[in-house]
Amino acid sequence: MVTHPDALPVPTAPLMEPTAADMERYSKRWWRHKNLRSLNAWMLIPLISIFAQGFDGSMMNGLQSVSHWRSYFGTPTGATLGIFNAAYPLGGIAGVFLIRIPADRWGRRVGIAVGASLCCLGAVLQGAAVNLPMFVISRVALGAGSVVVAGVGAPYITEIAHPAQRSTATALFLTFYALGSITAGWTTFGTFRINGEASWRIPSALQGLPSIIQLLLVWFVPESPRWLVSKGRADEALAMLARYHGEGDPNDAVVRFEYHEITTMLASEKEMARSSLWEFATTPGNRRRLAIMIWAAICSQMSGNAFVSYYLAPVLTSVGLTTDLQQTLINATSQMVSWFSALYFATLPEKLGRRTLFLGSLVSMWIVIIAITAGSAEFDKDNDNKAAGYAVVVFLYLFSPAYNLGFNGNLGLYIPEILPYHLRTLGLSVFYFVQFCFMILSNFAVPVGLENIQWRLYPIFVAWVMVEFAGVWFLFPETKGPSLEEIAWIFDGTPEDKLARDALDVEKASVAVTEKVAAGG
């Protein structure tokens, strides 16, 4: 086993693309490989980066059903309730500016640690809040920290996972959102019976638990080989790849090919990398990447998911389910349905394709929202129509699986993989900035809409999801199959295309000089 880069022999095997057998050796029965088992275990640390966001949405759903929380903060509704929930994405907007610097300058592990520290601070303030301003400030800190760990965690997994497992490993990232939701849902279900402030302070403080785990253990996770190469530490990158992707053999076909791709691609990117927002406007491929990130961020927040993520309690109240027990139980069990569906759907991108899952998810959500609208309208006509009310609950349960089909693991995989290394953390910062902006819009608009026009708000989303479908249809290419480095060719063309373009540019420049000399003569 390679334990130190100085002990690593120089690779001598000829460079050849790995065969299907080479990849299957690690994708099937991966648990038989000691170092790959270790890598997959350590990947749990960046995988829980999104846990905090899932915990927050479910916790706020649960707290709105807890009598002691409502009475302590004056039973917030409408715009006041919107402020409670919008504070979190407001912090997220501030946090996007903290993603790139620590992660690109000092490494992915330091980036995770910075975000986890902010989450711990926010959880302490939230659990100890004595008034509305303190609770809001705590949620700003939590939002900032959670977006940093999420923005670093996603590319971290993409960059350290074995190539045979990269799609599934990265797709699993957003499934931990649902795991956080389950934890918060059952926590609030268990604590709402406590007669006192502990009924809401306990779940508020527990939001910091995954961040404490990350702070303690992230230093044992291997650093990204792509980051190491970018910092001139190629020997350490090869040592990491050999140990965890080749079971200690630097001449393993997968290791050799992966190392060659990483070093070649990063050398090419380094020649042209300006790594600024302006670069997203300089080429057709980058402009398309930017459009996809913006549209994906909008779809992830404006498809009606705010009802289930943050405002389940008002929706349940509107169909006659008003008790603390009913609402906290539905919140907790619906999150379990969400998590189990997310885990299964995380295995589908490599089988069905990313674009297929996005489109299928939008169609499914469209059908579910229509059903929720119809059931709510019928219950509004006749409050004794329990069948209509229960039908709404059933489709509320089905909304999360419909959303998870395309916008959970599939989204967590798609955004990091369409971005080249030197734009990966910057691009994710852009994605989260747009996502949290629309989360704020949703968090302000939905409670006001529910308070003023009730179920009549839902048809807006029926129409909007159709617009989202059209955007995905025309913008999103399929990325199933190619390696992480080869996906760039879908947007920028193959290396041969680049050489042809460079030759054409040289030819044009030569012609221009010749014409200028002739004109001067």
User: 16: pLDDT confidence band, cut at 50, 70 and 90?
Assistant: low
d(CA 267, CA 261): 10
Residue that has been written with the tokens 């995989």 in this structure? 413
Given a contact cutoff of 8 angstroms between Cβ atoms, the answer to whether 390 and 379 are in contact is no
Q: What's the token pair of residue 220? A: 């044992």
Cβ-based neighbours of 374, under 8 Å, separated by 6 or more: none
pLDDT surpasses 50 at 8: no
Q: In the prediction, which pLDDT does 487 show?
A: 85
Helix, coil or strand: residue 465: helix
Band (270; pLDDT cuts 50, 70, 90): low
Residue 9 lies in a domain: no
Predicted pLDDT of residue 175: 79
| Mean pLDDT over each residue of the chain, to the nearest integer | 81
Residue 313: predicted pLDDT: 66
**Assigned domain for 355 exists:** yes
Q: Is the pLDDT assigned to residue 97 strictly greater than 90? A: no
- What is the rounded CA–CA span in Å between residue 265 and residue 487? 11
Sign of the alpha-carbon dihedral angle for 23, 159, 259, 427: positive
| 7 in a structural domain | no
Considering its fold, how many domains does the chain have in total? 1
Q: Encoding tokens for residue 519? A: 């004109």
Which is higher by pLDDT, 153 or 191?
Answer: 153
pLDDT of residue 515: 46
Q: Which two tokens stand for residue 59?
A: 């916790």
Say how far apart CA 415 and CA 430 lie, in whole Å. Answer: 11
Which of 93-107, 240-254, 332-346, 484-498 is predicted with the least confidence, judged by mean pLDDT? 484-498
518 pLDDT more than 60: no
Task: Give residue 359's pLDDT band: very low, low, confident or very high (50, 70, 90).
Answer: very high
Question: Where residue 227 falls among pLDDT bands split at 50, 70, 90?
Answer: very high
Residue given tokens 């007669």 in the structure block: 195
Per-residue pLDDT reduced to its tens digit, 170-202: 878 877 877 887 887 788 778 877 888 888 888
- Examine residue 503 and state whether it is found in any structural domain, yes or no: no
- Asked if residue 23 is part of any domain, the answer here is no
Residue the block writes with tokens 């069990």:
333
Query: What's the rounded mean pLDDT across residues 478-503?
Result: 69
Label residue 500 by pLDDT band (50, 70, 90). very low
Name the residue with higher pLDDT: 321 or 139: 139
Count of all residues that appear for the chain in the document: 521
* Contact partners, residue 41, CB within 8 Å, separation at least 6: none
Task: Give the whole-angstrom CA distance, residue 384 versus residue 367.
Answer: 25
Give the residue carrying structure tokens 């965890």: 244
Residue 500 identity = A
Contact 115, 459 (CB under 8 A): no
Q: What's the rounded Cα separation, in Å, for the pair 119 and 397? A: 29
Rounded to 5 degrees, φ, ψ at 126 are -70, -45
Q: Which residues of 21-37 are buried (b: 16+ CB within 10 A; e: fewer)?
A: ebbebbbeeeeebebbe
Task: Decide if pLDDT at 4 tops 50.
Answer: no
Residue 307 and residue 373 in contact, taking contact as beta carbons nearer than 8 Å: no
For residue 22, being part of any structural domain is answered with no
Take residue 15 and report the two structure tokens written for it: 């460079």
Does 5 fall in a domain?
Answer: no
Cα–Cα distance for residue pair 112/416, rounded to 1 Å: 16
What is the CB-side half-sphere exposure of residue 326 using CA atoms within 13 A? 13
**Is the pLDDT at 272 greater than 70, yes or no?**
no
Crossing angle between the packed helical segments 253-272 and 421-452, to the nearest 10 degrees: 80
Write the CATH number for 312. 1.20.1250.20
Domain presence at residue 15: no
Closest to 178 in 3D by CA, of 403, 375, 415, 424? 403
- How much is the pLDDT for 6? 42
Range of the domain at 339: 42-73+82-271+279-485
pLDDT tens for residues 61-89? 667 777 888 888 877 776 777 777 778 88
214-220-221-224 Cα dihedral, nearest 10 degrees: 120
pLDDT band at 442 (very low <50, low <70, confident <90, very high): confident
The pLDDT value given to residue 432: 87
pLDDT exceeds 90 at position 59? no
What CA–CA distance (Å, rounded) separates 155 from 108? Answer: 9
Q: Would you say residue 503 has pLDDT above 60? A: no
